[in-house]
Amino acid sequence: MATPTYTHGGWRPSDDRFLEIVGQPLFRTLVDLQDLTTTETALFWSERGVKSVHLPITTNTISSPMGLGSDSLPVEIDLFGQRTFLADSMQFMLEYGCRLSPSGSWYLMPSFRGEDADETHLNQFFHSEAELPGGLDECIDAVNDYMRRLAQAVLDRYADDVEAIAGTTEHLRQMAGLETFPRITFEEAVAHLGDDAEAVEHHNGWRTLSRHGERRLLNEISPILWVTHYDHLSVPFYQAYGDEEGRTALNGDLLFGIGETVGCGERHIDGETTRKALAHHEVPEEEYAWYVRMKDTHPQHTSGFGLGIERWLMWVLQQKDIRELQLAPRLNGVSLTP
C-alpha cells in the first residue's frame, strides 16, 4: 500500500493552542458536552441491559477499509516487531461481545484512520459503537432512541451554552421531538437526485452517494434522514444481504449535519454466508479466519452501529471544521503539542 501524503487541507494548530483555548466558551462547553455524551451513553445502554466491554486499541482484523466504497485507510504499526493495526472500529469484537452478553455490547473509545484529515474527517476520533441482537430495523430503532436521548440531554443541561455558541437549539429540539426519523432507500435517493452527475458516484458494479448528494437529500427531503439498502459492493463484506441476488445490503446511514454521522448494519448470521460475502467482495478469507470460525461455532443474528462523536458535537455546536472539535488535535505524520 502506498504511503499517504498528509496535507490536512493546510490546517495545523499552533504550538500555543493548548494554552489559548483555556477559558474559551467553545472549549469549556465542548468538555461539558463530551462528559454529557459519555454519561448519557452509559446510562442509555445500562437501562437496556447492554454491557460495556473493555477492548484493546490494537487489532489484526480491520473493518472499515474492507468495502469497495470505503475511502478509509488502516493505520498499521510495528508493536515490538509484531505487525498490527490501530483499531478503525471494534465492530468485530463487539460481535464477539454479543456471544458473551446476549443483550448486546457497546463501547466508546478512540478509532484511528489513515486517510488525510479535513473539515469533516479526523485521524483520531471517538467512536460510540454498539452491537445488538436482532436485525436492521431493531438497530435503527435503537439508534433513533439513542440520538433523541442525547439531544434531549443537551437541551436539559446545556441549552443556553449551546445557543450562545451555535446561535440556535432548534436543530436539537427537532431531533428530540421526532417520533420517527424519516427513512428512504438508496434507490429512492438515486431517483430523487435524478441526473445530477455530482450526487451519485458510479463505479464498476456499484454506486454510492457523494457528500453533495447527501446534502441535497438533507436540504430537499429532511435535515435528519436515514438512507438504507445501499449497493452491497459499496459497503464492507460483513453487512448482511438485502435480497437473494446479493445486490443490496441490510445497512443504513443516518444523515444530518455534514452528512453521514451514524453507520448501521445487520450482519451475516453464520460462517457459510460470511464466506460467500468474502468471495463476493474478493477479500481473502484467511485474514478473517477467526471471525468466520466464530460464526461457524456460534451463529447469531445481530446488527450494530457506530456514531462519530466529534461529528455529533460538530452538529450540536453548529461548527464548520471538525478539527476544532478536539481538545488535543492529532494529525497523522505531524508532531503536535501537547
- Print the SS3 string covering 160-171: HHHHHHHCCCHH
> Helices in 101-245 by DSSP H: which ranges?
136-166, 170-177, 186-193, 211-220
User: Is pLDDT above 60 for 336?
Assistant: yes
Average pLDDT over residues 71-76: 83
- Residue by residue, DSSP assigns 129-141 as EEEEES-HHHHHH
Q: pLDDT tens across 24-56, in order? A: 999 999 999 999 999 999 999 999 999 999 999
Of the candidates 129, 138, 225, 130, the residue with the CA atom closest to the CA atom of residue 185:
225
DSSP at 57:
S
Instruction: Dig out the grid coordinates for 174 from the structure.
Output: 427537532
Cα–Cα nearest to 298, from 53, 133, 106: 133
Q: What pLDDT, in 10s, does the model give residues 269-294?
A: 999 999 999 999 988 898 899 999 99
Strand order through the sheet with 75-79: 58-59, 82-86, 75-79
Given a cut of 80, is residue 3 above it in pLDDT? no
Distance CA 266, CA 303 (A): 4
pLDDT (tens digit per residue) in 209-250: 999 999 999 999 999 999 999 999 999 999 999 999 999 999
User: Which pLDDT band, with edges at 50, 70 and 90, does 2 fall under?
Assistant: very low
| Predicted TM-score of the model (pTM) | 0.95
Q: What angle do CA 38, 134, 300 make, to 5 degrees?
A: 105
Q: What pLDDT, on a 0 to 100 scale, did the predictor assign at position 69?
A: 57
Which grid coordinates belong to 296? 461457524
Residues 6+ apart with CB under 8 A from 89: 63, 64, 111, 127, 129, 306
Residue 59 corresponds to which cell in the numbers above?
Answer: 487489532
Check whether 65 has a pLDDT greater than 60: no
Question: Rounded to the nearest 5 degrees, what angle is found at the Cα of 250, between the Cα atoms of 248 and 251?
Answer: 105
Distance of CA 125 to the CA centre of its chain: 10
Q: What is the pLDDT of residue 70?
A: 62
66: pLDDT strictly greater than 60: no
- For the stretch 97-149, pLDDT in tens is 999 999 999 999 999 999 999 999 999 999 999 999 999 999 999 999 999 99
For 298-326, the pLDDT digits (tens) are 999 999 999 999 999 999 999 999 999 99
DSSP 267: B
CB atoms within 10 A of CB 79: 10
How large is the greatest C-alpha to C-alpha distance in the chain, in angstroms?
57
Sign, Cα dihedral of 56, 314, 264, 200? negative
